[in-house]
Amino acid sequence: MSEIRAIYTLWMREVKRYTREKTRLVSSFIQPLLWLVIFGSGIRFAPIGIDYQKFIFPGIIGQTLLFTSMFMGISVIWDREFGFLKEILVAPVSRISVFVGKMLGGSTDAVIQGSFVFVFSFIVGIRMNIGAFLLSLPIMALITFGMVSVGLTLASLMESLESFGVIQTFVNLPLFFLSGALFPLAFVPQWLRWVSYVDPLTYGVDALRFTILREAWTPLFPIQLDLLVLLAFDFGMIAVGTMIFSRRK
């Protein structure tokens, strides 16, 4: 019970901090819009059997989730720099609750950010309904649980803000490019496809295409498999993250 209250209060803190930062809320609109409108229009004529902008729409949601989730790791570094981490670490709360509280907070922020992208669906001509959005929500949550955990883990390992920034780019871009967000994985060479199968975001984007594009697109995997892989990824990363986060000097 007390652990749940601790998770709740740490979650609440992250959400409060996030909603008080207006610039981050506004800037979150810009990047997806650029990808959809400029990049999407540029390669609109790619012969993939579906309008390209529609095709990348779930991919850009996935990308937004990935980038914001990773960025959430920064909260560990900030907390350390501003000393707040000590307040949490001396509290009589298990490390896993601290980690999960932070993770859920970051995930909530990332899912909110990802949800903004749905606003642009009309630009690319996808007719969204509430049902499809609601079905996408749990998938978005599953993607962010694992990805925020990766971000928090990397941040726990980094000594400074700068090194976290560098490592983030190294992780973000491969995960993004390999996920099939920008091109159908059916089109890539066999070896590259196998690499893509290791990328958890591949399954996230695949599942989002299932809920958003529906019959207009044939997904790579059955939805059950996508969800199963994402779940395994989440649990694995929470375990690893808690372990790394809990190290005591």
Residues making contact with another protein (CB under 8 A): 2, 5-6, 8-10, 12-13, 16-17, 20-21, 80-94, 248-249
For the record, the structure tokens of 48 come out as 């993939």
Handedness of CA 84, 19, 233, 199 (dihedral sign): negative
Helix axes 52-72, 95-117, angle to 10 degrees: 150
Q: How far is the CB of 9 from another protein (least distance, A)?
A: 4
Shortest Cβ distance from residue 245 to another protein (Å)?
14
Nearer to another protein, 87 or 215 (CB): 87
* Cβ-contact 237, 153 below 8 angstroms: yes
Return the axis-axis angle of helices 161-178 and 190-198, rounded to nearest 10°: 130
CB of 2 to another protein, least distance (A): 4
Closest CB 173 distance from another protein, rounded Å: 29
Task: Supply φ then ψ for residue 181, to 5 degrees.
Answer: -65, -35
Q: What angle do CA 205, 208, 210 make, to 5 degrees?
A: 115
If the CB atoms of residues 90 and 130 are measured against another protein, the closer one turns out to be: 90
- Vertex 223: Cα angle to 217 and 225 (nearest 5): 130
Asked if 1 and 93 count as a contact pair (C-beta separation under 8 A), the reply is: no
Nearest residue to 9 via CA among 102, 144, 128: 102
Would you say 98 or 175 has its CB closer to another protein? 98
Retrieve residue 237's tokens.
């990363």
Q: Is 224 helix (H, G, I), strand (E, B) or coil?
A: helix
Q: Which tokens in the block code for residue 225?
A: 């498999």
Nearest CB to another protein, comparing residues 21 and 134: 21
Closest to another protein by CB, 10 vs 229, is 10
Quote the least distance from Cβ 23 to another protein, whole Å.
13
Q: Work out how close the CB of 90 gets to another protein at its nearest, in angstroms, rounded to a whole number.
A: 5
- For residue 158, the minimal CB distance to another protein (Å) is 13
Residue with smaller CB distance to another protein, 84 or 187: 84
Cβ-based nearer residue to another protein, 14 or 234: 14
